[in-house]
Chain A
Amino acid sequence: MPRNSKPVISTAVVRSNNLGSARATYPFTAIVGQDEMKVALLLSVIDPNLGGVIIMGHRGTGKSTAVRGLADLLPPIKKVKGCVYGCDPDRTNELCEDCIARLRRGDRLKAERGSVPVVDLPLGATEDRVCGTLDIERALVEGVKAFEPGLLARANRGFLYIDEVNLLDDHIVDVLLDSAASGRNVVEREGISVSHPSRFVLVGSGNPEEGELRPQLLDRFGLYTQIKTITDLDQRVEIVERRERFDDSPETFQDEMADEQSALRRRITRAKKLLPRCKLDRSLLMRIAELCLTVEVDGHRGELTIARAARALAAFEGRVRATLAEVERVAVMSLRHRLRRNPLETVDSGSRIEQAMSDLMKKSSQTGPLIAAG
């Protein structure tokens, strides 16, 4: 870590998974309560196509602790050796220009195991660092116009985390929305013309009291979880105790949690393997559509998200078929941010979904065969 005693720091570009914290990471499994948030995060790990998670809620409830803890749980992935974007050698349709050029030359893409990037997008980041820009040092020294990849390149195939997402500048949001939609980052600036893959899971957190989120950005997130201060006395006492133990000696505390951490890691790996085989019956899809209709969800992203989330949850539970039980657990987080907003609404949209869901459950228990299938 550079020290402030030196007046000037020449910058080596840090290319790591470092989420920008100088401190040890608090283990994910040591987080007390807040199940909805934890489940949502795990689902987005199991199925990256879910569209990520946004966690909104009270300050100091462990939002960023959970996201930072996630990095430790991600199973390693195969990457093309020497590729800045960490391309997947097995998915030739998502390769970057360099890798394609290598294939054309008849070279083989060598694979190596690497960690999933979890990249922090700090507030105050400028557009050039987010998108990438001309590599100034190479230009100065060699007179070459080379592209220096930005955060969107680093986040490829991984997670992009934005804390205080509602404070993010509009022009950065625009850039994010572009790449999130297309899976590619297109740079046309300073005589540089580059397009590279940039598929990432967007994870955001924030406090609704700091300001509202732009609707376009909100819609990008697959799952929306609301987090509140825990009101159970024992759990809160437990939180303070664990925090004290962690502050006293982070290493000892991490050791204590090591077993639970690796158990969860194994479970995630299993679930990821199981997911492609996990089924969701057509009749259940009908029920999901019915639910979305009842609560008046705009568009079809809602149905799709529930279906995906339900499958991911079933895979996490080690089952090969999603049932109404899974749908029930993921419905609120999949739909909460997709309901039409009425400013005079005093009822939380979550409870509206819950009500519709429980009606649906009642109905299907009368008709029967749907759950039995699972």
Chain B
Amino acid sequence: MSHLKAQRSDTEQTRYPFSAIVGHRAAKHALMLLAVEPALRGVLLGTSSGSTEAALARSFIALLPKSEKRASDEDAQVRRFDEFIELPLNITEDRLLGVLDLERTLASGTRVISPGLLARADGRVLCVNDIGLLDSDTAAHVAHAMDARCVRIERETVSTNQSADFLLIGLFNATESEASPMLRERVGLIVDSVVDLSIEESVVMIDREFLFENNSFGFVGDFILEEAAIKNAIETARSRLPRVRASKNHIRQIVRVSMRLGVEGNRADSFAFKAARANAALAGRDEVNDDDIVTAIRFVLAPRATMLPSPEQKEQPLDKSTDCGDAAEDAKQVFDADLSGFTDAADELIPPIDSRVPSELFRLPLRSPSHNDRSGKRLKSSTSIRGRYARSQIYAPREAKVAIDATLRAAAPFQVRRRSAAENRESDLASRRIKIAPGDLRYKQFKQRSGVLFIFAVDASGSMAINGMAQAKGALLRVLQQAYLHRDKVALISFRRKGAEVLLAPTGSVELAKRLVDSLPTGGGTPISAGVAKAIELARLERLKGMSRAVLVLFTDGRANVIAREGQTIDDELRTLAVALGSESIDSIVVDTRARYMSSGEANAVAQKLGSRYLYLPRADYATVYREVTALAGRAVK
């Protein structure tokens, strides 16, 4: 679907004009707000195709007023954020934070570091494509830098603080994975929705694309007035912003909506207030009005909602008062589109009950030949060159990266002696170089978080309500707890009615998973294949982030009755999925949740077709479970 290429030459003349990009009104609006009020810190844009929005962000930066002299803007308040810098997903921690500069350190004899990407982003706009795929360590570093506006480095003999004040534009594929919550929290504006273009708009877009390809100079010339108008609007709004007044009532309006939506923390409230003022400035007003509040709700509060505004609250006379009724009403409207999936009278909520977890379940992930069964630890060997530089070692591994800091430290004490030995033979310059002997070399030892990803796919169909949903929940919680002890990651998928839904993206948090499991509703048909397909998709994504192994645990009674694609049988689908599971080397296990064991049960059949192991989940008393879990915990600690 994409027709704009992100990797375009970046010169002024040939950049695709911002104003020529068709559609994407919300994204454009959010970017404009950020330009007017940099204190909003950034924008996350949901994309369907990725590249259109990347081009959008790129052409947008070109529109920002250039600051006169970069060197002189010592004062953070005059920062213009007018340049672009891209954060590649596969960046190493070294390159992100800064690393000891080998050449210069050796040449000068004093420690020299080359700044990392975060420090180089200072005063610029940091852009991340597919921000949802950023691994959690990188995301945490970016989030920290955004908080402190600097990078603090305590690495490889270097201890320093570098300014890193930047804006963040992140693009995430709304259908795949969201940006890390840490980043979502620190960015003011989020545009979640992906709006597909109408047929007319698509035609215009393709037209323009061809025009641009044939004659980019002419095309850019055609939009010169529009571009100037946008530039001008941003400039005017920026100078107006300090004059924009907002009353306490406006803050109350924002906070009230924020509370209704269950927005966590206080950052969003402040962001919403700033967004409202920026919107007023952009509209050429000196006073904030309801439109601005609605905009703020749309871009700041609504994407962070953890609950829907409840209808009972709406009836309270307090909320009907003039200061907030409208805004609350609008917030409700923002949500109406999403409401459908939530309120279904047929849904049932079944509390978890305790159940015995078959111990085989825990042993399964340790079975793989690449892992030592007895160690109980799932740490990968240190020969990998991915992950985090943990310490140095004297032996060179197969794939080696020299640990400069450690090598220098090893060589350092001998320098005086080696130098005097060399003095007679070498020129003056050469004799001042640091002398490294082969025996000084040290190598980086990397540690990669390499736990197992457990994907729990839970059948939440209507039949499960009778067939042991309560037990499934209980068992699920037990296994989650176990995963925590092993420091693994867990993800949760529920499938019912027509499709599967990722309830919980891979996380190390039991707490979050627990909450979600507790409130897992049931009802509708059983689309097993959709659930399995979703799990495979998740496992693939996680592999990109460095999680090497995945285990699918499928809780179901096996009564599959909804197909994922038209014109196929459930059996066909399951067999196709079995092949996919195999090629992705995902171990899978079907946990039968029926109340009574039947060897000819449907779940067993599903397991056979998927090539999964089959387990029956019997009832058990609490004491047995507790013993089991503590025994396992003891093993994990060893």
Chain A residues at the B interface, C-beta cutoff of 8 Å: 1-5, 7-14, 18, 20-23, 58-62, 64, 120-130, 133-134, 136-137, 139-145, 148, 150-151, 163-164, 166-167, 169-171, 190-191, 207-212, 229-231, 233, 236-237, 239-241, 243-244, 247, 341, 343-344, 346
Contact = CB atoms under 8 A, between A and B. Distances in A.
A130 to B, nearest CB: 7
B152 A241 contact: no
B155 to A, nearest CB: 5
14 contacts: A2-B162, A3-B122, A7-B114, A10-B108, A10-B110, A12-B160, A22-B149, A61-B266, A122-B154, A124-B97, A128-B157, A167-B137, A209-B509, A212-B508
A143 B416 contact: yes
Contacts of A126: 154-156, 389-391
A142 B258 CA distance: 62
Q: What range describes how many residues of B lie at the interface?
A: 35 or more
Contact of B158 (A11, A61, A171): A11
Given A121-B154, A208-B512, 6 more contacts: A10-B110, A11-B159, A14-B160, A136-B405, A139-B413, A233-B252
Nearest to A123: B140
Contacts of A8: 101, 104, 112-115
Interface stretch (B268-276, B558-566, B571-579, B594-602): B268-276
B236 to A, nearest CB: 21
Nearest to B352: A344
A124 B181 contact: no
Given A21-B149, A136-B412, A212-B510, A129 B354 contact: no
Contacts of B101: 8
Contact of B412 (A123, A139, A237): A139
Nearest to B408: A136
B447 A169 contact: yes
Interface in B219-270: 248, 251-252, 254-256, 258-259, 263-270
A169 B141 contact: no
A212 to B, nearest CB: 5
B484 A2 contact: no
Contact of B484 (A4, A128, A139, A212): A212
Interface in B141-171: 141, 144, 147-150, 152-163, 165
B52 to A, nearest CB: 30
A233 B259 CA distance: 8
A1 B255 CA distance: 36
A343 B632 CA distance: 14
A88 to B, nearest CB: 24
A239 B269 contact: yes
Interface stretch (B3-11, B195-203, B475-483, B548-556): B475-483
B518 interface: yes
A346 B388 contact: no
B326 interface: no
B306 to A, nearest CB: 10
Interface string B399-443: 000000110111011111100000000000000001000000000
Contact of A151 (B122, B154, B409, B474): B154
B619 to A, nearest CB: 15
Nearest to A33: B266
Counting chain A CB atoms within 10 Å of each CB, which of B137, B156, B269, B410 scores highest? B269
Given A13-B160, A143-B413, A237-B251, A122 B270 contact: no
A60 B159 contact: no
Contacts of B248: 237, 241
B507 interface: yes
A124 B273 contact: no
B405 A343 contact: no
Contacts of A124: 93, 97, 137, 141, 153-155, 388
Given A124-B137, A164-B140, A2 B269 contact: no
B563 to A, nearest CB: 35
B544 interface: no
B525 to A, nearest CB: 29
A11 B266 contact: no
Contacts of B582: none
B120 interface: yes
Given A1-B150, A151-B154, A212-B484, A60 B509 contact: no
B67 to A, nearest CB: 13
Contact of B270 (A14, A121, A240): A240
A211 B508 contact: yes
Contacts of A151: 154
Contacts of B39: 247
Contact of B163 (A22, A142, A191, A230): A22
A164 B180 CA distance: 14
Nearest to B163: A1
B416 A136 contact: no
A343 B150 contact: no
Contacts of B109: 137, 140-141
Contact of A120 (B108, B152, B390): B152
A229 B140 contact: no
B145 to A, nearest CB: 10
